[in-house]
A and B are shown apart, each in its own frame.
Chain A
């Protein structure tokens, strides 16, 4: 994937991630009052109701919590594709596509977030995020 491909892509939703030289970081939110960390960043704290939720850099590293390989089309994904639940270092469990699971894929494995380009109805592709094994990132 070339940086030029990424540059022309439209984020799937604003405020989910930052991309710097091909390196992706997820952006969550931390409640200023109770400290609970969320992904994506909510408008208000979903735990204590606090009105101030501050953008929080969640980094790109996480641990594989569960995964599956899907053999039907779903949403913008085309089969076969893998998806995962990933536990980020700051706590939130994140759902995301997983680079194709293999026999070596295992719960507890260390993963890294990476860009994912998806086909769109328009000319410009959609930029989303996925997880890949740490050594590949």
Chain B
């Protein structure tokens, strides 16, 4: 990535995740953005560019949020890329700064799911989508994939429940998590069946929440902090075409995005101290281990069972509690995962701190429309 400027994260903000029907998306977006500005020590008037992510979007959501902080008259972009929308917004501001258009910018991801009409239902692509009409909600796709993991990887339903139990172990330590309690493999398997083998507690909840970041050039970062965290890689790619996907237990886009990110960062998966990834449905975490190169193809279940991806393991995955325990406000999660990595690299993650963390990766996968293996995959790698 020669010729591009280094981009730092100097401010993070995240609301508590949960069910907050009394709060609007503006309320939550404002809180996260204000917290990120305060954390950075940057006045609102300093912001030059902004990107916002919201799945259930109204017209110009970001402008409505930032107007409440007196931020207006600058370039603002609203993005939707399913669960990777937040990653896409981070990348939009990263590009603005890396390519020298602006020196400092704000990213806001937000979702008020409780207030949305589809509360309690399963996420689908659109009313017109053929597969969606025939029942292919997102968890249904992951259930079909989970069955293949059982067929080709020797994965078991206990493995899928273990992914969720691991997430809840970490989330119980996170004061901003939606669940904040541990759940056993038995609890998870005993919960209501959604799409076999996926039970309710292998699914992320509907969540209200927001997250925000202040990004800037390295020069600006030095004015505000002695400990900036740097974005070493930023990539967002569309999912591959479905007809070319020979095996649903691996994503072409997952492997390609990871390869691009490692090349940009000049490091490999062995260098990672922690990973935040898309665990909206427990079985997919095993696929992402392999696509990110945390283990060899086929070894995902063994990596999980070894404890390497638990807190205290070689490379903790989702120390925040992940989407399963922390919650998944759709448009916010891609921003929130970067917040978590920054907090970990600062050493500020409290009871869930990954000791000595210096390199972290934040990944999001979004959407499952007809004709594509996935809608989008976004990856950011950050270092101290």
Contact = CB atoms under 8 A, between A and B. Distances in A.
Contacts of A36: 243
B42 interface: no
A1 B171 CA distance: 51
A70 B195 contact: yes
B151 interface: yes
Contact of A71 (B193, B248, B370): B193
The binding surface of chain A is classed by DSSP as: strand
A66 B248 contact: yes
Interface stretch (A2-10, A19-27, A54-62, A90-98): A90-98
A13 B130 contact: yes
A46 to B, nearest CB: 5
A107 B152 CA distance: 11
Contacts, number: 96
B140 A40 contact: no
A132 to B, nearest CB: 15
Interface stretch (B96-104, B131-139, B265-273): B131-139
B121 A75 contact: no
Contacts of A12: 130, 133-134
Interface string A72-110: 111111000101110000001101110000000001000
Interface residues of A, number: 33
B136 A95 contact: yes
A68 B147 contact: yes
A17 to B, nearest CB: 12
15 contacts: A38-B243, A66-B147, A68-B144, A70-B140, A71-B193, A72-B121, A72-B194, A75-B124, A77-B135, A83-B140, A93-B242, A93-B243, A95-B131, A107-B147, A118-B133
Interface of B: 121-122, 124, 130-137, 139-140, 143-148, 151, 192-198, 241-245, 248, 370
Interface of A: 12-13, 16, 36, 38, 40, 46-47, 65-77, 81, 83-85, 92-93, 95-97, 107, 118, 128
Given A77-B134, A97-B135, 6 more contacts: A12-B134, A16-B130, A46-B243, A71-B193, A75-B137, A95-B370
